[in-house]
Amino acid sequence: MGAALFYHLTGRPLEATAPVLLAKALEQGWRVAVRGRDRARLEWLDEALWMGPEDSFLPHGIEGGPQDALQPILLCEGVPANDPKGLMCFDGAEVSAEEIERFERVWILFDGRDSVAVERARGQWRALTGAGCKAQYWSEDQGRWEKKAES
């Protein structure tokens, strides 16, 4: 049984936070899907992942390639083809209660400076916890992540 971990990004942006979480998942031997809402943002994140330090490269690809099923990290808009254990959603990408149950972990990252993103995340929290899913809310406090709520 999985859990949804909501990350309220207030200090570090998505392109700094996602690689840290993804690296930890890869260290556990997991494949991960990263779900966005549109291709342009997936391409932006793809480029951001390529621009990281050489010693911390994260092997990944964008859906639609011949090696999708083999990708350790697959950036996608829909159902992931890489049989992941973890799912990371950003920019309000949808995730269902059934997916929370199926994956070991689901991360929902949202921009705390964007009121629409915050409201969307609150709606996701209510929907998922209302469906009986376990959830945690994490917020950055002085450069450190702290768990602020759990259902």
4 or 140: which leads in pLDDT: 4
Report residue 134's pLDDT band, with 50, 70 and 90 as the boundaries. very high
Asked whether residue 94 carries a pLDDT value surpassing 80, the answer given is yes
Q: What is the mean pLDDT of the chain?
A: 94
* Residue-range definition of the domain harbouring residue 41: 3-150
Overall domain count for the chain: 1
CATH number, domain at 22? 3.40.50.10110
Q: Which two tokens stand for residue 70?
A: 């083999």
Q: Which two tokens stand for residue 126?
A: 């209510």
Check: pTM over 0.85? Answer yes or no: yes
Q: How many residues are there in the chain?
A: 151
Q: Which two tokens stand for residue 10?
A: 């207030």
Q: How far apart are CA 87 and CA 31, in angstroms?
A: 9
**pLDDT value of residue 1:** 63
Mean pLDDT within 73-87: 97
| Residue 20 CA neighbour count, 13 Å, CB half | 10
